[in-house]
């Protein structure tokens, strides 16, 4: 297989370092490089798809990702609540076009989001 060009595919492959916090069959969780909350973890599918809409075409992988996100929140001690965010498309704030869900917690979240 050729070397991946996608940033998050490189993290999955281990060619770019990341602080991994949890792993499952289909998903990997690692700390965001620019945390926006005391806990800020990204959960991504191992296999490249552009966004969570595309991931929904693969229900087992989608469910695995959300299970891992819930496990991360539990392990981070976010028992008072947390926020899952899936920025989708450029106007949705997506910068990295490999599907991911942000797990944010450890502070009170504002609403509406910016």
Active site residues: 100
Could you say whether residue 60 binds ligand 5GP (CB under 6 A)?
Answer: no
Could you say whether residue 87 binds ligand 5GP (CB under 6 A)?
Answer: yes
Determine the Cα–Cα distance for residues 104 and 101; give it in Å rounded to an integer: 10
Among positions 32, 66, 70, 83, the unique one binding ligand 5GP when judged by CB under 6 A: 32
From the list ligand 5GP, Zn ion, none, pick the one residue 30 interacts with, judged by a Cβ distance below 5 to 8 Å according to partner type.
Answer: ligand 5GP
C-beta of 48: minimal distance to Zn ion in Å? 4
Site residues for Zn ion, 92-111, by CB under 5 A, read 98
Among positions 27, 28, 30, 72, the unique one binding ligand 5GP when judged by CB under 6 A: 30
Q: Looking at the DSSP assignment, which residues form a beta bridge with residue 83? A: 104
Of the candidates 31, 29, 104, 99, which has an alpha carbon nearest to the alpha carbon of residue 71? Answer: 29
Question: Would you tell me which residues interact with ligand 5GP (CB under 6 A)?
Answer: 7, 18, 30-34, 42, 87, 93-96
């Amino acid at each position: 297989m050729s070397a991946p060009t996608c940033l998050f595919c490189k993290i999955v492959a281990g060619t770019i370092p990341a602080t991994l916090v949890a792993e499952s069959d289909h998903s990997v969780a690692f700390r965001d490089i620019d945390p926006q909350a005391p806990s800020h973890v990204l959960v991504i599918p191992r296999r490249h798809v552009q966004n969570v809409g595309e991931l929904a075409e693969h229900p087992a992988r989608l469910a695995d990702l959300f299970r891992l996100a819930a496990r991360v929140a539990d392990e981070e001690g976010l028992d008072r609540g947390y926020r899952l965010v899936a920025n989708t498309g450029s106007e949705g704030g997506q910068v990295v076009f490999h599907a991911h869900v942000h797990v944010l917690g450890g502070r009170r979240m504002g609403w509406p989001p910016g």
